[in-house]
Amino acid sequence: MGTKTIGLRDDVYERLKARKRDEESFTELVDRLLEDSDPDWREGFGTLPEAEGAELDAIVSDSRTRLSDGLSERQNEALELLSDEDHEDDDPKTA
C-alpha cells in the first residue's frame, strides 16, 4: 500500500502527537481517530422516550401533510392559470 505526505500546522501536529499512543504510528493514530469519529448511525435508534417519539412522529406527519396539501394547491392553481390562458387563445374575440 502506498503512502502520502500531508502538511499540518504545528499546533495540529502537537495535538495529534499528544493523542498518539506510545507504540502507535501517526497512520495508526489517524486511522483510530477516524474510526472513533464515524459512529454507527443506527446507535441512536430507540433513544427517545415513547411520548417524545410519538410527539415527533405526529409533528413530522402533520408537516408532510401540510407540505403535500400546499404543493397540490399550488399545482392546481398553476394548471387553472394555464387552462385559462389556453381558453383565451381559442376565443376569437380576443384574437
Average pLDDT, the chain: 87
In the chain, domain spans: 10-39, 50-90
Alpha-carbon distance of 81 to 62, in angstroms, equals 29
User: What does each C-alpha distance from 22 to 17, 47, 75 come to in angstroms?
Assistant: 10, 37, 65
Q: Give the model's pLDDT for residue 89.
A: 65
pTM beyond cutoff 0.85: no
Question: Is residue 87 predicted with pLDDT exceeding 80?
Answer: no
pLDDT 10s digits, 53-77: 899 999 999 999 999 999 999 999 9
In 3D, which of 60, 39, 37 has the Cα closest to residue 48? Answer: 60
Backbone φ and ψ of 8, nearest 5°: -130, 145
